Structure 1
């Protein structure tokens, strides 16, 4: 097994690391650059995005012909981890959710016309986007088969009616990917549509207040009230909505894990720096065995997460949906991030609980990690299904092909 990365990936990683250290972390340190929802303001963000674009560090996840660098999932794992040393990092490189996953699925599933109209403006950074799937009870959440929003075909149009919530980025988005039910077929009953913010027949009911910091555009509750969409807004074809969700959500879950590893490393960095300088009762915190045990455990947990993420990234690059691998990475990295923030706050004491560091930001953000894109328990059930179906082959090594 080869655990080395290519010189090209290492070059991107090193340049991203320098950019984060020299440009983004100084911007993060200035509270004037934070908006009311604890994200970077657009005024501070746009000049940094222009610099990243000029340096060729833009949309690394996309193919070159789409406007990216074609790094593949393995390259993304390395670079996304480096980007999220800063809490503002991913958005600067146009690699933040939900645009990240939306661009990748449109690149893979969109027609040439759809890519030109709906994907290209997101790639350029001209607009933001949103993925509209989750519904309040009794609608679909982790189980899209429960979806209540309907798309009824009338002539050459579809009439959309439904209620969605916790839709990330909706308040600032212009382009939307919407999932709705077009039939009761358990496998071909859902369809994915594209729509623009200025089209009639829908509204944002509210921006839902949450515990943690927010992505640009928040998490919103949407109402669709007889919205009319032409047939050319369908992605992949009627009844292919479940396929679209599979194409989008697996890689998107894994990119979350890549970014969370970067934040977990930032937590250990802050904790380590403080422990090396803070003294009490005649001894540095870093020299106390209890602190060394905590830090060593975090270092090991981060490395386990990196291995899980890299295996899943490799599987995706091989053309697999990597459901098992992504679920394991998602569970581990979500819990790891919360643990890393908690331990770092404990080591920093009152300083960690204050806003003098980003630890409290990461701590609030980390709690959602165990919920978004499937709760821990859902992914554990997925793993159990694989175990039931595969038995001892659950842990099988795939032999190389001659």
Structure 2
């Protein structure tokens, strides 16, 4: 692949960088800009969303006819990286999880009517959304096809849902939900996808689960379904296509995490660079100490390795490939690179890095989830092993 960005994409990337620098990063040092869950508060967020729309930097992953920027996956990668140089960044551009993955899925497989009703309000930034799949033990986690317990039963012209879900990101503020439930015991075609609104009766939020934090808007919630009725027209794709829909969503969604995490890792090193370039110890600047140079150089290299894997996966997705191996590799490496970059920055900043005088401690707590969300690193390594055993030397085949 050619790693040169097209001129129009690079121009947009620079616009996003300037927007983040001038409009978003200054809010990180304003205590009133945070909500009670350590994310950007609504009163600070809403004006930024309008500014992003006015600047033409809104919903990069959505088609222009729906009010987005119409970018491919490579273009998204370049912009998302810049957006997440701020801890508040992606949501200001409508490029944060879980809305990001939900929009991509709905745009790809929804009917025209479903897109108008369920997708367009998310694209417009009028509602938030949530993807409802994970369940408490012994229910589904990394193996939804084999372990999902929530069931949807057809009764007349309605599907009736019963079950329990948890760690459902954004559920507390979401209005539109994409729900995965079991419709049969078929090992590959046993799951189906449904759409429902927060005002529909027959379900409830049991609790918002406390986490290390900081939290996405709407938190991570436990949901209970007790007779929720969903009409046939709110079935997404066909009966039995739930696993397929999940794979379509998670392929790009996992990679958008990597795009954003790369930007956050780079920001951590920016903070470290600024400090070691000025701080003097033992008669010379920290930046001149070999041990400091080793830490920074290794962290920078790991970020670049993850970035290259992310871009290769993005390139393959743009070409119509599922890029499952590449997405898994990027997910593993970028999650580790993020943790290493933030840990390095804290170490080099000393007590300052451990304090709340910089966003580094926020980043450190956030970074720990990267090795868990959208598939634990161990699961992705297992996926790679299966490909290796099946493909042998062709695991590393060159595209021709």
Could you state the TM-score of these two structures normalised by the residue count of structure 1?
Answer: 0.99
8 Å Cα contact 2:107/2:119 also seen in 1: yes
The residue that corresponds to 2:141 in the other structure is 141
TM-superposition CA deviations, 1:213-242 (whole Å, max 9, x none): 000000000000011110111001111101
C-alpha separation between the residues in 1 aligned to 2:118 and 2:11? 31
Matched, 1:21 2:17: no
Q: Which secondary structure does the structure 1 equivalent of 2:277 belong to?
A: helix
C-alpha separation between the residues in 1 aligned to 2:339 and 2:293? 19
C-alpha separation between the residues in 1 aligned to 2:267 and 2:31? 18
Aligned residue runs from structure 1 range 31-42, under 5 A = 31-42=31-42
Deviation for aligned residue 1:379: 0.2
The residue that corresponds to 2:170 in the other structure is 169
C-alpha separation between the residues in 1 aligned to 2:222 and 2:2? 46
Aligned residue runs from structure 1 range 291-306, under 5 A = 291-306=292-307
Aligned residue runs from structure 1 range 101-180, under 5 A = 101-145=101-145, 146-180=147-181
8 Å Cα contact 2:300/2:341 also seen in 1: no
Q: Give the count of matched residue pairs.
A: 399
The residue that corresponds to 1:184 in the other structure is 185
C-alpha separation between the residues in 1 aligned to 2:259 and 2:35? 25
Q: Which secondary structure does the structure 2 equivalent of 1:297 belong to?
A: helix
Q: Which secondary structure does the structure 1 equivalent of 2:162 belong to?
A: strand
TM-superposition CA deviations, 1:275-324 (whole Å, max 9, x none): 01111121111010000011111111111111000000011111111110
Matched, 1:252 2:253: yes
The residue that corresponds to 1:57 in the other structure is 57
C-alpha separation between the residues in 2 aligned to 1:103 and 1:4? 28
Q: What RMSD, in angstroms, separates the aligned Cα atoms of the two structures?
A: 0.6
Could you state the TM-score of these two structures normalised by the residue count of structure 2?
Answer: 0.99
Does 373-382 or 294-303 show the bigger shift? 294-303
TM-superposition CA deviations, 1:31-74 (whole Å, max 9, x none): 11001111000000000000000110000111112221111100
Which 4+ stretches in 1 moved above 4 angstroms? Answer: none
**Gapped regions of structure 2 (runs ≥ 5):** none
8 Å Cα contact 1:105/1:244 also seen in 2: yes
8 Å Cα contact 1:246/1:321 also seen in 2: no
8 Å Cα contact 2:276/2:287 also seen in 1: yes
C-alpha separation between the residues in 2 aligned to 1:307 and 1:204? 40
**Gapped regions of structure 1 (runs ≥ 5):** none
